[in-house]
Amino acid sequence: MTRDQLPLGSGELVLVVEDDDQVREVTLKRIESLGYAVTEARTGPKAIQLLKSEEPVLLVLSDIVMPGGMTGYDVARWVAPNRPEIQVILCSGYNEEDNRGDVRSSLGDVVVLGKPYSRDQLARALSNALAPPKMD
């Protein structure tokens, strides 16, 4: 797939929540290269603090397993009632454990992207999450 075929953003603000500095830096650069604006948080509590501000975040891309007492699931659970206009994509390298049906069902349509993911998978996940809902 060539760069021209990837779905690109047009400056939408994405909050990346990732405790691993190297992974966060690579992810920020990848998302920016796809046409999105980015902001970042190292932990769930920092992400919530940022989401309580006036930042016009449209999507949260969060790791599931993080230090700081909050998981990506916890961030998604906070977003749903407090900032329902924001989409959430969770990422994990521990998919077999983190995709438990009971936890995911309580989060509705939250997408879980398995690590490592390709630039193409990231581009499609971001584009799909930010696409306007289809009317039936």
Which stretch of DSSP H or E encloses residue 40?
Answer: strand 37-41
For position 67, what pLDDT does the model report? 86
- The third-level CATH classification (topology) of the domain covering 9-116 is Rossmann fold (3.40.50)
Residue 57 to residue 118: CA distance in whole angstroms: 23
Orientation of helix 21-33 relative to helix 119-130, angle to 10°: 70
- Residue labelled with tokens 């797939």: 1
Average pLDDT of the residues in 20-26: 96
The domain ranges of the chain are 9-116
Q: pLDDT digits over 115-134, tens only?
A: 899 999 999 999 999 998 77
pTM for the complete prediction? Answer: 0.88
Q: What is the mean pLDDT of the chain?
A: 88
Residue 79 to residue 32: CA distance in whole angstroms: 23
pLDDT band for 111, please (50, 70, 90 cuts): confident
